[in-house]
Amino acid sequence: MDIDELMRRLFELYPDGCTVDMREPFFALISTVMSHRTRDDVTYPAAEKLFKRFSTPEEMAEAEVEEIETLIKDVGFYRVKAGRIKEISRILLEEYNGRVPDEMETLLKLPGVGRKTANCVLAHAFLKEDALAVDTHVHRISNRLGLVVTKNPEDTEIELKNVLPKKYWINVNILLVKFGQNVCRPVSPRCGVCILNDMCPKILL
């Protein structure tokens, strides 16, 4: 497959995906933790509401968990996430001087933080060019397109790094998430209007 042509078409379809939305590290971390199994159009309004009330690790660590729950109640598993948000804030204060780490291994030590979350923080908050975030959309589409043959997002991350030129790593999550939400959907993908249907070995018409 012509990777450059594939990415050119995606950039053309989603020009906003050409630039990473730089976010403050603490907001990037907490909002990504909140996003697990929750749509972006639900996650980010809830995150904005939360950060209007508590905007720093200090404020979040001192907050009552019940108030955090109330502020983020629209997101999935909000009670579990509220506890994690408070615990993450405490750990940042006690172990990292209130700063979000900018290394994968350190981020993975935080509760509720997996490789996808860590990579999103590294890409969106620290503009790390070696960060490649793989969620269910990226995993599914990469396999449908035949870019990789993998069984889980962790393996997909490894294999995509072997397939995609490094210059694309920081953008691929944004592009494929949008593509997966609007065109290459989990159920009833819109193959008839897909700009990649002449490149895809798994046309589902």
Catalytic residue among 81, 86, 128, 135: 135
Tokens of 68: 């955090």
The DSSP output letter for 38 is S
State how far the Cα of 156 lies from the Cα of 23, in Å rounded to an integer: 25
The DSSP output letter for 98 is T
User: Residue 181's Cα: distance from chain center in Å?
Assistant: 13
Catalytic residue among 116, 151, 155, 198: 116
- The dihedral region occupied by 15, where left means phi > 0, alpha psi between -120 and 50, and beta the remainder, is alpha
Buried b (16+ CB within 10 A) or exposed e, 37-73: ebeeeebeebbeebbeebeebeebbebeeeebbebbe
The DSSP output letter for 127 is -
- The dihedral region occupied by 77, where left means phi > 0, alpha psi between -120 and 50, and beta the remainder, is left
Instruction: Determine the residue type at 130.
Output: D
Determine whether 116 is an active site residue.
yes
Q: Which residues are catalytic?
A: 116, 135
